[in-house]
């Protein structure tokens, strides 16, 4: 009997999920202990991260399933769905942190600086390790998750700096101002990731393949007269689909058609296509799609 070996992306998300969930509980207890609204707001933000990580872990596992009658292209786009969910959750979480930071500026509170330093160091270590694990991933889902964890690391770094300064200077404004700046920076980056995710959902052409270049190489193959209805889209940002209609030369024989197809397949094998469809048309054949 065979054994299931988790995919690296699945393992990374699982590790990040359990680390984030465990540390969220530590944050909630520690936030009340040191009387830090910043830490409590970060704990709520991390709780949302944990839910997103759990969702991503599940969707990443689902994405590995084989194609079936319901999803003929397979389940890879579920990983893209995870990236979309995580982007939205992170944006909502960032808005929450910005709101809390503004309230802290308007109504400053004194916190236990020494306790904040201890929690900040632990937060940097835990979230830093999780970010390092997920940061090596190739899927768009993992890249979005890495921004989740990077935001947490930078947030704890801000709390650490603020707590150290608070040991020497009585200024309750440092923490919320730093948190505000870091969150705005992360929000800007996540917005770019969300734009990329939506672009792929709308079947935009992947940026790591050049349609014009591929068409030019196909036209160099003997027996190919022209191309039309060429489409390239991505399942998950990593695995792509290619379709095209090839108009054959008038002088090509029936036996040479297979040679042309094999030459095109060999060419497409150089690119990250997991599925491609090549429809050949005779020189005097009129494509019905062109007439529409």
| Tens of pLDDT, residues 140-163 | 666 767 776 787 788 788 888 888
Output the six-digit token pair for 194: 């969300």
pLDDT value at position 240? 92
Confidence of residue 7 (pLDDT cuts 50, 70, 90): low
Q: What integer is the mean pLDDT of 26-37?
A: 82
pLDDT value at position 292? 53
Q: What integer is the mean pLDDT of 201-209?
A: 90
At how many degrees (to 10) do helices 140-168 and 37-62 cross?
170
List phi, psi (to 5°) of 48. -65, -40
Residue pair 50/167 in contact by the 8 Å Cβ criterion: no
Domain with CATH 3.30.70.1350 in the chain: 211-291
Q: Work out whether the CA dihedral 140, 145, 147, 153 comes out positive or negative.
A: negative
CATH superfamily of 8-201: Cation efflux protein transmembrane domain (1.20.1510.10)
pLDDT in tens, 99-120: 888 888 888 777 788 888 998 8
Domain with CATH 1.20.1510.10 in the chain: 8-201
* Class of residue 49 by CB neighbours under 10 A (exposed 0-12, middle 13-18, buried 19+): buried
pLDDT in tens, 252-265: 888 888 899 999 99
Residue 200 has pLDDT above 80, yes or no: yes
**pTM attached to this predicted model:** 0.70
Q: Which residue matches tokens 């991390």?
A: 46
* CATH number belonging to domain 211-291: 3.30.70.1350
């Amino acid at each position: 009997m065979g054994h299931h070996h988790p995919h690296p992306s699945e393992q990374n998300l699982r590790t990040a999920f359990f680390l984030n969930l465990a540390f969220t509980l530590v944050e909630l207890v520690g936030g009340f202990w040191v009387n830090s609204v910043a830490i409590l707001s970060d704990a709520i933000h991390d709780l949302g991260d944990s839910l997103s990580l759990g969702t991503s872990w599940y969707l990443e596992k689902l994405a590995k399933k084989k194609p079936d009658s319901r999803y003929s292209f397979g389940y890879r786009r579920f990983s893209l769905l995870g990236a979309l969910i995580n982007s939205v959750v992170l944006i909502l979480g960032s808005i929450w942190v910005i709101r809390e930071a503004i309230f802290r500026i308007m109504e400053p509170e004194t916190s236990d600086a020494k306790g904040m330093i201890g929690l900040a160091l632990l937060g940097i270590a835990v979230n830093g390790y999780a970010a390092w694990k997920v940061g090596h991933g190739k899927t768009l889902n993992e890249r979005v998750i890495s921004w989740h964890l990077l935001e947490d690391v930078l947030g704890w770094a801000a709390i650490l700096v603020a707590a150290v300064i608070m040991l020497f200077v009585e200024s309750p404004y440092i923490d919320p101002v730093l948190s505000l700046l870091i969150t705005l920076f992360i929000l800007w980056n996540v917005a770019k990731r969300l734009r990329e995710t939506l672009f792929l959902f709308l079947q935009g052409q992947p940026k790591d393949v050049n349609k014009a270049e591929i068409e030019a190489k196909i036209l160099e193959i003997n027996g190919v007269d022209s191309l039309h209805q060429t489409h390239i889209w991505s399942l998950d940002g990593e695995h792509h689909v290619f379709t095209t209609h090839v108009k054959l030369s008038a002088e090509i024989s029936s036996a040479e058609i297979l040679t042309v197809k094999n030459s095109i397949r060999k060419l497409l094998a150089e690119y990250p296509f997991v599925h491609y469809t090549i429809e050949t048309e005779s020189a005097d054949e009129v494509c019905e799609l062109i007439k529409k």
